[in-house]
Structure 1
Amino acid sequence: MLEPTGPLPPEIYWRRRVFAIGAIVIVLALVVWLAIMLLHGGGSSNSTAAATSTSATTGPAAGSATTTPTATSAAAASATPTPSGTVNATAASAPASCPDQSLAVKVTVGQPSYKAGDKPVFGIVITNISTLACSRDMGSGLQQVSVQSLDGQRRLWTSTDCDQGGQPDVRTLNGGQQAAFTLTWSGTTSQPNCAGERVPVPAGSYAVSALFGSIHSSPETFNIS
């Protein structure tokens, strides 16, 4: 059956067979190629759909990660109490109390001479002689100003004899800074607890000095004529 038979030469029949076989091979190749293309196209569509689905899924998640906080959450954040450590640090930075050894006291007289019946004016200056800032209550009841005879043997008047103390007056002084006060004397005598009669001081020469804590000032002299 493989040998060609017919009125034509065998070569013609062999050529026809080869052509038919070639046509069949080409058709099969085309069928295979189309099948591959269809399968490849379907895979690409599925990949594209999967990528689109992934983008759609991840998009909202990324958006939610950058969502702006609402007004309620911002208010809650601002209402968060300040840590106690901050308060303690602020308190720790407040100036310490001024020790006596960090202060100096000076007293001054308004003028060198007064007439009998005048009211001499004294100035008190408290200086922070240290290099560090500190604070101290310098109320009038804590400043003691005294008038004495020049020899210091006779005490005539002291500001705290009749001073009830007054209100606290806390001052903060940096290194080298001063606090100045003014005191007017009635020109009369006094005794502790404001006892006894107060009488005008006679004409003469006197010395005034100041005491604050344990700090004494140098005396300053003046005259009453």
Structure 2
Amino acid sequence: MDPDTFRSDIGVDIYWRRRMAALVGVLVVVAVVAWACSSTSGPDDVRERNTSAAGQETPDPLLAVLPTVTVIPSTSASPTPTPAATKTTARPRRPGEPCASPQLVLSMEGQGTVYPPGIRPRFVLTLVNVGKVMCTADVGPRAMEMRITSGDDRVWSSSDCVSGEAVNIRELDRGIPYVKELVWDRRRSGDDCTADRAAALPGTYVAVVHAPGLRSRKAVFHLR
């Protein structure tokens, strides 16, 4: 065969057309494959990006400037409720028991306000049981003491130099007063019972009676 057979113009043209047709076919196949891949993965990627973007909340600008507060639970024990205070009912007093000071009323009255020379002042003491039942009380000179003063000067006391029984327990019925009269000899008294007792000077004096938890009103009188 003549080697110049394929070098004719007609042969070369056919040859290059065939080669071009094959190249175009290859390009078409590649383009179709590329389009198929882009159409398959493109929307899913877009949807995935949209989904990811939708899953992330847009921060609120107002919340961004607020301080962060951390709440720490308290570990202190809750206070134990205290039981309600129970009312205690006072036991009824029995007859013959010692009198309580709220059951008693103590009073004292002077028999005069001015005592001339040689006249001794006289006083009447009363103790009344205002309780519901009979009770007992010590009405001795030390338990129920009358004291005479002149300013800051303690002049005389019924509890000084007591002779005989110092304790005198009496039963006090409700509403029936115990009455006792005291006479002052116008002389001073003190702890020394052997010393000579000096006479009180003329002037103004105050008498008052004391008992445990009780005190009478003052009685003012004058010695001439």
Aligning the two structures, in what range does the TM-score lie when normalised by the shorter sequence?
0.5 to 0.7
CA-to-partner distance for each residue in 1:113-141, whole Å, 9 max, x for gaps?
11123221111111113233211232234
Q: Is the 8 A contact 1:145 1:210 kept in 2?
A: yes
CA contact (8 A) 1:107 1:125 kept: yes
Correspondence 1:183 to 2:189: no
Deviation at 1:111, TM superposition (A): 1.5
Unpaired segments ≥5 residues, structure 1: 1-91
| Corresponding residue number in structure 2 for 1:130 | 131
Give the residue type in structure 1 aligned to 2:201.
Answer: P
Question: Does 2:142 align with 1:144?
Answer: no
Task: Assess, with a 3 A threshold, how the Cα gap between structure 1 residues 193 and 211 changes in structure 2: closer, same or farther.
Answer: farther
Normalized against structure 2, the TM-score is what? 0.53
CA contact (8 A) 2:138 2:144 kept: no
C-alpha contact 2:128 2:178 (8 A) present in aligned 1? yes
Q: Give 1:37's aligned residue.
A: none
Contact 1:112-1:221 within 8 A present in 2 as well = yes
Question: Alpha carbons of 1:110 and 1:158: their partners in 2 closer, same or farther (altered >3 Å)?
Answer: same
Q: Is the 8 A contact 1:131 1:176 kept in 2?
A: no
Q: Which residue of 2 aligns with 1:200?
A: 199
Q: Which runs of 5+ in 2 are unaligned?
A: 1-92
Instruction: Say whether residues 1:100 and 2:70 are aligned partners.
Output: no
**Letter of the 1:186 counterpart:** D
Q: What are the superposed Cα offsets for residues 150-197 of structure 1, whole Å, 9 maximum, x if unpaired? A: x4x111111111113526433222222210001111101111253643
Structure 1 match to 2:213: 214
User: Hey, what does 2:117 align to over in structure 1?
Assistant: 116
User: 1:213: Cα distance to partner?
Assistant: 2.1
Q: Which amino acid aligns with 2:210?
A: L
Contact 2:95 2:133 in 1 (8 A): no
Q: Partners of 1:162 and 1:214 in 2: how far apart?
A: 23
4+ runs of 1 displaced by more than 6 Å?
Answer: none
Question: How well do the aligned residues superpose, as a CA RMSD in angstroms?
Answer: 2.2
Match of 1:154 in 2: 153
User: Any conservation in 1 of the 2:204–2:223 contact (CA below 8 Å)?
Assistant: yes
Q: Percent identity?
A: 22
Amino acid at match of 1:122: F
Residues 53-111 of structure 1 show CA distances to partners (whole Å, capped at 9, x for unaligned) of xxxxxxxxxxxxxxxxxxxxxxxxxxxxxxxxxxxxxxx96421111222121111122
- Counterpart of 1:140 in structure 2: which amino acid? P
- The 1:143–1:194 alpha-carbon spacing in structure 2 relative to 1, beyond 3 Å, is farther
Q: What is the number of residues matched between the two proteins?
A: 132
Shift of 1:206: 0.9
Q: Secondary structure at the match of 1:175?
A: coil
**Secondary structure of 1:223's partner?**
strand
Aligned residues of 2:95 and 2:134 also touching (Cα < 8 A):
no
Name the aligned partner's letter for residue 213 of structure 1: P
3-state SS of 1:101 partner: helix
- The one-letter amino acid of 1:181's match is K
What residue is the counterpart of 1:171 in the other structure?
A: 170
Aligned residue identity for 1:176: G
User: CA 1:143 to 1:160, structure 2 compared with 1: closer, same or farther past 3 Å?
Assistant: same
Conserved in 2, the CA contact under 8 Å of 1:157 and 1:190? yes
- Separation of aligned partners in 1, 2:162 and 2:176: 27
Give the alignment's TM-score, normalised by structure 1: 0.53
Residues 204 and 220 in structure 2, CA contact (< 8 A), matched pair in contact too = yes
Determine if contact 1:141/1:164 at 8 Å carries over to the other structure.
Answer: no
Say whether the 8 Å CA contact 1:129–1:175 is kept in structure 2.
yes
